[in-house]
Structure 1
């Protein structure tokens, strides 16, 4: 099945490369093959803040059938954590 997909892909690429079909000509500036390596990029990670507070809040909601008034202490703790994270 994978070999058939590869053949279909190669046929499609060859059709795009030919001028006979009236389609725009594909002019690749790099070879149309996958490399054996991955680009060495650094992913910018935002600090995951208030994860514990949100998980405690969600657990409280689940235990109390999503009644917000019961989990007001957890909500205040989460919002205060969010406010501190926005200041930083």
Structure 2
């Protein structure tokens, strides 16, 4: 790139930051946006892969893969129990992280003092 071209690009695109006059003091809002938690990774993937490989080796016979099936079903049951416990903890507020709905309720109960 030539020196002249660099000068043109800088002149046309570079704008120094301007000072912004804040008429209001910085303060938190009285609510947060409602966002759902990101979905976690899928559960029991390894057990499912082991079961699929067993089925492939034994030509999709359930009798030969009964141990893998029982391990997969046990993993699913454990995951369901953990999901129920997390849902209960989220409803009662004993979760590690508060949901946006719970935060909004707390902000509504204890609002910030209004500036004069």
Larger Rg: 2
Higher relative contact order structure (alpha carbons within 8 Å, sequence separation ≥ 6): 2
When the two structures are superposed, what TM-score results if normalisation uses the length of structure 2? 0.38
TM-score, length of structure 1 as denominator length: 0.50
